Structure formats: structure tokens, C-alpha cells
Structure 1
Amino acid sequence: MERLSLWLQWLTLLSASLLLGFALQYFHVPAALLLGPMIIGVLMGLSGATLRIDKRLFILAQAILGCMIAQSLSPSILQPLIDDWPVVIVVLLLTLAASGLSGFLLVRFSSLPGATGAWGSSPGGASAMVAMAGDYGADVRLVAFMQYLRVLFVATAAAVVARIGLGDSAHSAASLEWFPALDLRFVGTLAVALGGAWLGQRFRIPSGALLLPALFGATLHASGTMTLQVPEWLLALAYALIGWSVGLRFTKAIFMLALRTLPQMVLSIIGLMLLCGGMAWMLTRLLHVDLLTAYLATSPGGLDTVAIIAAGSRVDIAFVMAMQTLRLFTILLTGPAMARFISRYAHT
């Protein structure tokens, strides 16, 4: 693949992603336009493709996704956390414990350094974990590989669970209006996306490029100030950019570096997914939420990928986003201490 010219690699990436993405959508697979480009990106990355998605495009794609989420949210996003705070706190603590146990066992039974195993196992926003890992002595390459390998596993599993939950009632590609007439709402949406993304980067807010447009847009939407307009073609482009950004990170060089500990990584990811799945089942017994909502709320994947799957499914997206956002910020606060603990005790 590396022998192909850059424009041929782009042509291959675009055409193969379109084919797979729309094939998955034809069979009503949730998040098809994310999974298709992500899978093609993985295959091309492992085949030696030299393509990379500019970080600014990835940030902009997250901002567009934030505007899409805003259409389903309101400032009452905090209400689910307030109403059921004892259960939310218990689930949050159990998730942190499961994450810590996963990282501890991974480091204990592999040759990974403690800090690398800890940050690679943290179920927060993948991009935020990678950004912070280098500041605490971790191998950023391996952390990125572990984080995005888990995102790939979780996104696929969540899409399968959503497909089972939706059955044949999933959205059909034919029911979507791909190119609606654009008006001033579209201009306002772009302003919210660009402004939120810039502020998120300016003040280094973790996942701020997604969270700030979502919060700003939800406030404008709920107050009646402005209705956002996010056309399907723009969403599809954002999904593809996020999928490619994740998939193309799976380069052959990093894969060979991680090969010695790949079985332990996969077991660690599956174990963490099963533990979070158990907590999802517990949530359905304690709260009035369906299994798919609970599964997405507790899934240890990236905030953006979970949001895409949630938006394409009939779930309580406010509850999902509230739980995922709370966990992200909690892990950002506790991650350094957990990494130090695992580094100190896992190899003893």
C-alpha cells in the first residue's frame, strides 16, 4: 500500500469506505457510516498506507458531532445524574475499579510499563487519554494503539447490540434526506461548531471540541434562540473523518511493536467490556432504563463513537451522554494517581 501514490491511497480509502459504509447501512447496521470508514482505515493502516487525517479535521468532525448531539439534548442533561445520583456514583466507582483492575492485570501479566498499561486501559475519551499519557511517562504509541483498539472493539460490539435491539426497525438509508435546502440555521450551526472547537482547544478542555458545541447548541436549541441544522451529508463526512482518524492509527509498525502483548491487550479489553456490560444489566434492574441505553452509558469506548451509535438508536441520549461525560472527567482527575499505583505495585 505504501508504494501507491498519495492520491491513489485517497481514492482507495474514499471508494472502499463508501462501499462498505453504505453496504452496512443497507443492512441497517447502526453507525454504519462510522464503522465502514473505520474498518477500511484499519485495513489500509496495517497494509502500510501513509495517509493521515489532519488533527484540525478530526477536531472539526468532533464539533459537527457535538452539534448533532445538541439537537437531542437540553440543559436538563444533568437531571438524570441528580435524580439517581446514588446509583450513578456506584456505577462510576465500579467502572473506575474495573478499569484499574484491567490495567493492573494487563501490566502484571505482560511486559508493558505500568504507566502505559494504566493509561491504555482507562475508559475515557481515547484522544484525551492519548494526549495526557505522554506527560506521565507512558509510551504514547502503545497507549494510542490500546485506546483505539478498544474503541474498535466497543464500537463494533455496541453496533451489534444496537442492531439486535432495533431489529428491522432501524433507520433506512432511503428515509434520510441527504441534501436538504440550507438556510441561516446552517450558518449558525457552523458558527457554533467552529466557536466551540476553538474554545475547547484554546482552554485545553478534554473532548472540548465535542462537548462545548453540544452544550452551546443545546442551550440555544432549548431556549428557542436558534434551531441547529446538521444535514446528513455533513454528518456522514464527520463520521468518516472520525473513523479514518481511528483506523489509520493502526499502522504496521505500531502493530509489530504491540504484537508481544496483543493477546493480553485483547483479553483486557474483552474483560473490561464484560464488566461494563454487567454494570449495564445492573442499571436496568435499578433504574427505568432499557438495556441498550444502559449498555451505551457504561460502554468503555470513546465519547464520540458512543455518541454516534446512541444518536442512531432509540435510546435516552441525555442519560448516555451524562454518564459518559461524568466518567470522562472523573478519569481525567483520577488517572494520574491510578497510573502511579499500577506502576508501583503491578510488577512487584
Structure 2
Amino acid sequence: MAHSSPEKKKISHVGRIARTALGLAAGAGGGYAFQVMDLPLAWMLGAMCASMALSLPGMKVTIPRRLNNFMLAVIGVLLGSTFTPELFGDALRWLPSIGIMISSQIVMGAILVFICYKLFRYDPPTAYFAPCPGALSQVAVLAPEYGADVRKVALCHGTRVFAIALVIPLLVSWLILKPEGAAAPIATGIAQHLSVNDIVLLTACALVGPSFAIGWKLPNPSLFGPIILSALLHMTESTRAMPPMELVNAAQVVIGVGIGGKFAGTTRTELRKIMGVAIFISAFMLAWAFGMAFVMAKATGLSVAASLLIMAPGGLAEMSVVALTMSVEPAVVGIHHVIRICIYLGLVPSLFFFWRWILMGKKELSAKLRLAN
């Protein structure tokens, strides 16, 4: 019996490796199939659908943290490489779009919180965290601390991320193929002929960036750190290189498999009870983002496609991949999402206490009215 525990751990470890390998193989196959069908963001969406197909029957597809963090760093280096010295010359013109983005998402979130509380009868903490428009990893930490139903919150956010990542590329593809002009693909890949200096600098951004971000206590350090270091190198023109497209496609597969894997362990009962609410929230967010994209484009002069990516309540990594792959002002989109996440992290706790204060105020008022009668 003394040797059973190490043996079980070894079997469990081998099982995790096997599931990860199967998930990545299925994701790569799904990505290739979508690529053959010429669908937008093929590698991420194909991997996401393949992973979800494995996860829903009960298979737990997990991505090792180190692999996931490295691939996020690759996306961060690629996003940073789109920054130019001229970019910040127009920084003041972002203020209106930032204002529209933040105010719009606060209003949208307030409406959804009210609907979840009144219509779907969620308890106050769950009603608050389930429709939060973004920052899944931060919400996953905060929700249990404030007493929310973690399972409902996780399923609502998993569905949101999946729906946004699936639908937004199709909408952007439709928008950029309109007469205003199609986007040119990013010129990355082996044909770039990266020099030794380029390889060293880009690799340093990916490896050193996360530690830099952790030192400054930035959120999502695996992504933010490489973005900052890569942007500094490209804005100073120390290099003009980008990561090879083969590596970017691999990063898309890993991210896609991770998104699809969030549905592992979901029972049929949970699907029936929670998914209807989750789908409603996702559909509401998509419709809101699509409508507000036209408002932002009209008010700021940004393209509708870029405005949609800015307004979309998806993750920074996913929206950055869409913007990069389709060449829809990736630096501008990335900066807006970075600002959104930073402001969001500051507002979430304060707005929760405001939400609780409103409910407590109503309860106290109702109690006084009952006493008066």
C-alpha cells in the first residue's frame, strides 16, 4: 500500500499528458480543417470547436500552464510588433473611443445584472459576476470571494468567451470585405528570414516579459509583459521582425483548445439550467457590441471592424489574435483592451459594493414601509 500513492500519481500524470496530447492533436486537426474551408481565424476556431467536442462528453482537456503562458507570450510579442513611433502621435484621438467603450460596457453590464437578478432569479453576487464583460481569470478569483455561485459564473463566462471568439471573426470578416476595402494579411512566417539579432530580441521579449510584468504587478503578465517589451523595441526600431506565422498558428491552437476545454465536466442538467441564461447573456453582449460599433465608428472615425473588436467583450488574447490575423488596427485594438481590463479590475470591487448597497437600501426601505403599515 505504501507504493500505491506514487504509482497513482504517475498514472494520473501520464493520463494528463495523454489528454493534453489528444486535445492538441484534435485542435490542430480542427484548425487545419477550418483552414481548408477558408474560414476566418481558422486555427483558433477549429481548435476551439474540436476541443469542445471532446470536453462536452466528459473528457477533461487541459493545457499545461507553462505551454499556455508561452503561447500567450508569443501573441504578446506579435501584438507589440504592430506598434510604431507614429502610433502614439494620435493618442489623443483615442480618448473619445475609450470613453464610449467604458461607458457603454458599464451600461450594458448594469442591464444584464438587473436581468440576471430579476428575470433569472440569480442571487445578488452571482447576478453581478455572471454577466461581467471580460477578465475571466480575474472574475474566477473574485467570484467565490464575494459569495457567487462559481459554477454558474464559470459556465456563463465560458459560453461568452466561446460565442465571442466564434462569432466576432465572422462579423469582422464580413465587415472588412465590404466595399471600404479588404484587409491585407500580416506578413509573418519563414519568408521573413529572421536574423540572429531578431530571434534573440523576440525571444527575450517572450521570456523576460512575464517577469517584468510580475515585477510591476500587471494583470495577465504572460501577455502584458511581452506586449510592452516588444512594443518598446519596435517603436525604437531596434527590430521590425515578427514571430513566424507557424508559431502564431500554434499559439492559436493552444488558445482555442483551452477555450473549448472550459466545458469539461458540464452535466446535462447544468447545460439545461445554466446554458440558456449563458446563451442569452452572450447574444445580448454580441448585439450590444455590434450596435455600439457603428456608434463608435461614426463618433471617432475608426472603422466599424476596429470598433467592433474594441467593443467586443472578449479576452485580450482572443481579440488581439483576430485583429492581428485580419490586420484590423491591432495596436489600437490591443491598447483599448489593455485599458479596459485595467479600468475593469479597478471598478469591479467598487461597483459590487455599490450594487449590494442598492439592494440593501431597497430592503431597508421595504422593511420600514412594512413597519409603517
Match of 1:120 in 2: 130
Is contact 1:103–1:268 with CA below 8 Å preserved after alignment? no
* Counterpart position of 1:33: 43
2:10 alignment partner in structure 1: none
Q: 1:10 to 1:84 in 2, by over 3 A?
A: closer
Change (3 A) 1:56 1:345: farther
Rounded to whole Å, the distance in 2 between the matches of 1:27 and 1:272 is 28
Distance 1:5 1:224 in 2: 46
TM-score (norm 1): 0.87
Q: Could you say what secondary structure the match of 1:252 adopts?
A: coil
1:190 Cα deviation from its structure 2 partner: 1.8
Is residue 2:262 matched to residue 1:252? no
Question: Per-residue deviation at 1:7?
Answer: 6.1
Partner of 1:145: 155
Q: Specify the alignment match of 1:132 in structure 2.
A: 142
CA contact (8 A) 2:48 2:260 kept: yes
Given the two structures, how large is their TM-score scaled by the length of structure 2? Answer: 0.82
* Unaligned stretches of 5+ residues in structure 1: none
Find 1:237's aligned residue among 232, 242, 250: 250
CA distance in 2, matches of 1:314, 1:86: 22
Pairing 1:21–2:34 present: no
Distance 1:62 1:87, change over 3 A: closer
> What one-letter code is carried by the residue in structure 1 that aligns with 2:74?
I
- Report the RMSD for the aligned CA atoms in angstroms: 3.0
Match of 1:59 among 65, 69, 78: 69
What percentage of residue pairs aligned between the two structures are identical? 21
Is 1:96 matched up with 2:106? yes
Letter in 1 for 2:174: I
Distance apart, 1:218 and its partner CA: 0.9
Q: Name the structure 2 match of 1:275.
A: 288
CA–CA distance in 2 between the matches of 1:126 and 1:78? 29
Structure 1 residues 80 and 92: alpha-carbon distance in aligned structure 2, compared to 1, 3 A threshold: farther
Q: In the TM superposition, what is the alpha-carbon distance from 1:295 to its structure 2 partner? A: 0.5
State the 1:242 CA deviation. Answer: 1.3
Q: How does 1:295-314 map to 2 (within 5 A)?
A: 295-314=308-327
Distance 1:337 1:101, change over 3 A: farther
The letter of the residue matching 1:51 is: V
Q: Which amino acid aligns with 2:206?
A: A
Partner deviation per Cα, 1:76-100 (whole Å, 9 max, x = no partner): 6555552242453133212111112
Say if 1:143 and 1:230 are closer, same or farther in 2 by CA, change over 3 A: same
Question: What is aligned with 1:290?
Answer: 303
Q: Secondary structure at the match of 1:115?
A: helix
Q: Deviations over 1:27-53 (max 9, x none)?
A: 332221111111111111112113311
Please give the residue correspondences for 1:160-179 in structure 2 after superposition, counting only pairs within 5 Å. 160-167=170-177, 177=189
Residue-pair matches, total: 345
Contact 2:286 2:312 in 1 (8 A): yes
Going from structure 1 to structure 2, the CA distance change for 1:316 and 1:49 (only over 3 Å counts) comes to same
User: 1:9-31 CA distances to partner (integer Å, 9 max, x unpaired)?
Assistant: 44543343223212222333222
Tell me, yes or no, if the aligned pair for 1:120 and 1:147 is still in contact at 8 Å. Answer: yes
Flag the 1:57–1:177 CA change in 2: closer, same or farther, 3 A.
closer
Relative distance call for 1:166 and 1:21 in structure 2 (3 A) is farther
Name structure 2 gaps, 5 residues minimum: 1-13, 364-373
> Match for 1:190 among 200, 203, 211?
203
